Structure 1
Amino acid sequence: MRWVPLLLKTLRLPLLAALTVTVVSGCGFQLRGTSPVPAALQPLAIDCPESLPARFCESVREQLSLGGIELQPIETADYQLKLRNYSKDRRASAITAQASAAEYVLRHSVTLELFTSNQVPLIAATELTSSETYRYDETNVLAKQREEEELQQQLGDQLAQQVIFRLVPITQERIDAALKAHSANEKPSESP
């Protein structure tokens, strides 16, 4: 019986580590930089036209690639992610006593759609938005311009993350259900 305390002491750290891993994975924790996009969406093509910011398109591609999603040209992919209508907006949200802007709101938006290679919609056109507010100081114009540029980049990255998270619920079961519903709607109705 003297070996029981020694055994418990020896196994304490591995048991604690196993318990920690179980709890952390059970709560949905995921390492930063990994994609939560299901493997059911492979191979995937991204239709991100040149009219959209290149940094935004690259961020979406990079996040998908880091998550192990195989990206292919539109002609050979089973699924197509279409990104359209990227817009940026900057509006004054607070005014000083001298009638100049004291605070601005930056807003970026993009429209996302997801189709199968047969053009069956899996996600209808959905607008995603991201916004940030920053204070403007007329006495420190250069620093505030740099801050705005950094916020603009962050908003694009946040929007790319939103695109990724919109793909998360698309499992094989949902794809099969959408294909079944689409084929049921395509069948001609029989008249008596």
Structure 2
Amino acid sequence: MRNLIICLFCSLVISGCGFSLRGNYELPASVSQLTVGSSEAHSALERALRNELKPYSVEVIDSSVKGTSNTTSIYLLSDVLDRRLLSLFSTGQVAEYELIYTVRYELQFANSDAQLLEFEIKREYQDDPDAVLAKSRELELVLSEMRKQAAIRIIHQISIAQRTIVNTAVITP
């Protein structure tokens, strides 16, 4: 009984301080509709973002449809994959790359100015010239995972930016 009370007390203290599990991002209630668009038609990052938004109770609207005045908008400007050489085999062939996935997007909340945001996701990638087909498939999987992580990061940024706007509006008279 004592252990149960201690566990209950600890969980109340942890949840009371605002702790939440990693990856558990709650979008504010004010983000009920979200307009998603991209400079590139049928963008893979846009599809990944739409997939990651499915668990949230947010109505995702295509950018071609005009949203209401309380609509939050995300416009994906660019997503670029760059490679940086890390090491070489003794034969001079590339042994290892650093993959750098750069995402630029515009985030605009209802009745506020658009924010231009950018971030990078980096991964190390080992190349094997003897297994070209397998490594090309592996590269596709790594890029897909990087897009998924970028979509999660955009959702997290929406949550943080909206809280910042709300807190700033409460503080300023």
Q: Show the counterpart of 2:37.
A: 47
Corresponding residue to 2:53 among 64, 88, 100:
64
Alpha-carbon distance in 1 for matches of 2:49, 2:82: 21
Paired residues of 2:37 and 2:46 also in contact (CA < 8 A): no
Deviation of 1:100 (Å): 0.8
Could you say which residue in structure 1 is the equivalent of 2:100? 107
How far apart, in 2, do the equivalents of 1:148 and 1:65 lie?
26
- Are the equivalent residues in 1 in contact too, given 2:109–2:162 (CA < 8 A)? no
Segments of 5+ residues of structure 2 without an aligned counterpart are none
The alignment-based identity, stated in percent, is 22
Instruction: Give the TM-score, by structure 2 length.
Output: 0.76
| TM-score normalised to structure 1 length | 0.70
**Unmatched runs of 5 consecutive residues or more in structure 1:** 1-8, 182-192
Q: CA 1:52/1:162 → structure 2, altered by over 3 Å: closer, same or farther?
A: farther
The AA in structure 1 aligned to 2:146 is L
Task: Please tell me whether the aligned partners of residues 35 and 64 of structure 1 are also in contact (alpha carbons under 8 angstroms).
Answer: no
Cα distance in 1 between the residues matched to 2:109 and 2:167: 11
| Distance of 2:58 and 2:29 partners within structure 1 | 7
Counterpart position of 2:143: 152
CA-atom RMSD in angstroms? 2.9
Q: How far has the Cα of 1:170 moved from its partner?
A: 2.8
Specify which structure has the higher proportion of strand.
Answer: 2
The structure that is helix-richer by fraction is 1
